Amino acid sequence: MKNIDTGLVSSCIERAAATAATLGNDRETLLCCLVCTDYTTLKETDSPLSVTAFTNHALELAAGGLPPVASICVYPSLVDAVGVALAEAPAGSAGENIGITAVCGAFPSGQTYMEVKMLECAMAIENGADEIDVVINVGAMLSGDYDLAESELAMLREEIDGDAVLKVILETGSLADPELIYRASMLAMEAGADFIKTSTGKTPISATPAAVVVMCRAIRDFERSCSRKVGIKVAGGIRTPLDAVLYHTIVAQELGREWLEPSLFRIGASRLVDALVPHLL
């Protein structure tokens, strides 16, 4: 494993926090956070009716003068409801620019048969998903079975076959160790991930600045060695504009401002969008 200098990571976080404090009300920064958001609802009470209302809320905000979010993120069985709501939006509206993300592969645990994971991904894409978020085999990573974790992701990458963006959730709060987070990051990218993502948001510890710094370092190392840019998605517990700006700043600091586009940076959040609105209207 790569040795991670935790002192250096802490210094990076302190520097980012100081910068973020000066950008807390910067309109350009907050707009970037908005357009890079995967607007997410992953409740056990979700239904076609509630998800339609959720999607319409995103469309209404865009119709009111704000740029659209990057995508609406839902469970696979609700992809169709999002697609219908977006399709029913007026021609030329934000509905044409908002993607659909589905959490697949037995989210959030990932504990099922590979055949089931693959079928769920395929069905979500067939129903209109543009992006697929799957969880790495956390148990395999913790037990040291890295080959299993990588082969499963490679199989899902092959199943998707370029029909959707693949985001791999590392569940960094469960991995905990910085060296293991780095290894999981590299493994996921080598398996074909388009994005690596912090968390499901369903564990006691979700996104942390330290984990994001380590992931950014892995992305930078991977890009240098393989000449392929991989995106980063921060998710889990991001509720306030300052939370979002801190992660925006870490990504800018560690990877460069070229990463601050929806094609390479995402924030997975449910409450953040409404928290940003008062600062932008």
pLDDT tens track for 160-180: 999 999 999 999 999 999 999
Q: Tokens 């392929």 map to which residue?
A: 228
Angle at 175 between CA 159 and CA 183, to 5 degrees: 65
163 CB neighbour count, 10 Å cutoff: 14
The alpha carbon of residue 122 and the mean position of all alpha carbons in its chain are separated, in whole angstroms, by 19
The answer to whether the beta carbons of residues 240 and 226 sit under 8 Å apart is no
Mean of pLDDT values over 134-140: 98
Average pLDDT, the chain: 96
Answer whether residue 276 shows pLDDT above 70: yes
Binned at pLDDT 50, 70 and 90, residue 250 comes out as very high
As given in the structure block, the two tokens for residue 74 are: 């839902």
The pLDDT tens digits for 206-219 are 999 999 999 999 99
Active-site residue set: 133, 197, 233
The pLDDT tens digits for 188-247 are 999 999 999 999 999 999 999 999 999 999 999 999 999 999 999 999 999 999 999 999
- 3-class state of residue 203 by DSSP: coil
Angle at 136 between CA 147 and CA 190, to 5 degrees: 55
How far is 281 from 273, CA to CA, in rounded Å?
12
Percentage above 90 pLDDT, the chain = 93
The bridge status of strand 37-40 relative to strand 265-269 is parallel
How far is 122 from 132, CA to CA, in rounded Å?
10
Taking each helix axis from N to C terminus, what angle separates 48-63 and 79-87, rounded to the nearest 10 degrees?
Answer: 40
- 3-class state of residue 150 by DSSP: helix
Mean of pLDDT values over 105-123: 97
